[in-house]
Amino acid sequence: MPCWVKRGDFHAIHREDVSYVRTREELIGLLSEYALRGIQRAVVNEHLKGDLVKFYGVAGTNFFHWFYPFNENHSKFGHEAINGHPKGIPFRADELQDICNRAADVLKVVVYGGDCIVSPDGEMRIIDFNDWPSFAPCREEASREIANRVIQMIDEYR
């Protein structure tokens, strides 16, 4: 039963907009609270066990930055603590970058970021994918790549 519930109409603004629930009763209570707040849609996802990895990328470039948010104290609402300290499960960062770039292509997103769970057997699953994320831990390097990619896209358009 453990799952994650996220409001389905907008990005997370309040801590309660993305919640980990353990029981059916908690789920019903959270969905009732959403209804009281006027949130009519929610996304419910299975809780995946493994290492939480955060990533940022710019499609059409070699720029890709990943890290373990728990280790970097990088948190929006403290939810990283649910999966706990990463175990360092081996995965191929180049494969994650390829998966993300393919997702960006399908979604028509050039500047992206998100979260991935690397399961104990090494399987990578994207659990969140966003356009125009903060790039907080790599903002300076990312800003150069974003600017270069925008200029390249303008040149290609002409």
> HSE on the CB side for 1, CA within 13 Å?
8
Which run of H or E residues covers position 58? strand 51-58
- Confirm if 113 and 54 have CB atoms less than 8 A apart: yes
Give the structural domain span for 11: 3-46
Answer yes or no: do 93 and 24 share one domain: no
Question: Does 99 share its domain with 114?
Answer: yes
Same domain, 56 and 110: yes
> How confident is the prediction along the chain (158 residues), in pLDDT tens digits per residue?
899 999 988 777 787 888 999 999 999 999 999 999 999 999 999 999 999 999 999 999 999 999 998 877 666 666 677 778 899 999 999 999 999 999 999 999 999 999 999 999 999 999 999 999 999 999 999 999 999 999 999 999 88
- Dist CA 66 CA 126 (whole Å): 13
For the whole model, what pTM was predicted? Answer: 0.87
CATH number at residue 135: 3.30.470
Same structural domain for residues 37 and 111?
A: no
* Together in a domain, 33 and 78: no
Q: Which amino acid is at 38?
A: G
